[in-house]
Amino acid sequence: MELINRYIYAVTQKLPQAQRKDIEEELRGLIEDMLDERVGDTGITVQDIEAVLLELGSPRKLADQYRGTKRYLIGPEIFDSYILVLKIVMIITASVIGINFVIQVILNPVEILDHFIDLIIGLVTGLPTAFGWTTFGFAIPEMAGAYNFKELSLESEWRPSDLPPVPDEKRQIKRGEALFGIIFYSIFIVIFAFSSEYFGVWRFTDEFTGVVPFLNEQTYGTYLLFIILIFGFGVIKECLKLVFGKWTYKLAAYTLIVNLISMAGVLLMISGPEFWNPNFVMELVDAGILTTGSEAFDIVSKIWEQSTFWIFILLIIGLIWDAVDGFIRARKK
């Protein structure tokens, strides 16, 4: 009898709580009926029980049949999206860690071994973390049954007119392009987040001796959040491109919105008087790179004064062109 209990337990523990009791009683009845059928009223041996349980099949298979649906951590309906997002997240994580390593090595080549160890540790801890959180994010709604399977279901009704047109060469977004964009933005995030003090004019006298920074180091901490957010938006934009796979009005509109937010952020940031290093030109002189009164000094001062304006103009042109280009490509049939 103990075998029967073990069998029933093995089946029901794989089933939802609410159904367990009912199924347990029904199964017990079934097994007893089958035993009766097999031996009548004479003594039941372990061999008989084993034979009956074998006939019923493995508990896992039986539980699967009771459940009706297979159990997934990530179901087939959302698996494609999951894999896509996972790839993006892994690429971003790996590139951030890799780029950080490269920068550290450039800045401080003597301690390359330490940097290398950091790289390995970063990869070993960072990649599984990224993998885990992505999977977690997808699995929780799956467990809660939150995905709308009517819409996502592989067998859901569809009309041939729903089929998306084969995108024109020019509407297609190359994956490499979007991935390159993601890596590009990641590089900047890493540079700004971890090594902002190296963002400037590098001084070399025989070897690297220091930096005349572009940015105001006193106020930098406040701006860092802005900077990361702006580049973060860039990453989001590239991810959207990757997900859409081709230019549509919707994507172009998203791009426009993201670009507008970035522009507003940049404008807020660089128009403030405290963003740039206020002593930049003087520090260049101190560093012996410039001498006051020389022609070069005038040119550099002028460029430095007007740089905010021109950077902003270039940025606006770039971002607007990015969005306009999207709309133009989306229009192409």
* 1 touches other proteins (CB under 8 A): no
Which residues, 6 or more positions from 144, have their beta carbon under 8 angstroms from its beta carbon? none
Residues 98-137 that bind other proteins (CB under 8 A): none
- Residue from the set 8, 27, 300, 319 that interacts with other proteins by CB under 8 A: 27
The burial class, CB within 10 Å (0-12 / 13-18 / 19+), for 277 is buried
Residue recorded with tokens 């991935």: 179
* 298 touches other proteins (CB under 8 A): no
* 25 touches other proteins (CB under 8 A): yes
* 26 touches other proteins (CB under 8 A): yes
The nearer residue to other proteins, 65 or 279, going by C-beta atoms, is 65
Instruction: Single out the residue of 231, 195, 202 nearest to residue 102, CA to CA.
Output: 195
Q: What is the closest distance, in whole angstroms, from the C-beta atom of residue 45 to other proteins in the complex?
A: 20
The burial class, CB within 10 Å (0-12 / 13-18 / 19+), for 167 is middle
Which amino acid is located at 232 in the chain? G
The nearer residue to other proteins, 57 or 76, going by C-beta atoms, is 57
The burial class, CB within 10 Å (0-12 / 13-18 / 19+), for 34 is middle
Which residues, 6 or more positions from 83, have their beta carbon under 8 angstroms from its beta carbon? none
Given the rule CB under 8 A, which of 51-59, 103-111, 212-220, 325-333 is the region that contacts other proteins?
51-59
Q: What mask, x for binding other proteins by CB under 8 A, covers residues 241 to 280?
A: ----------------------------------------
Task: List residues binding other proteins (CB under 8 A).
Answer: 19, 22-23, 25-27, 29-30, 32-34, 37, 55-57, 61-62, 65-66, 68
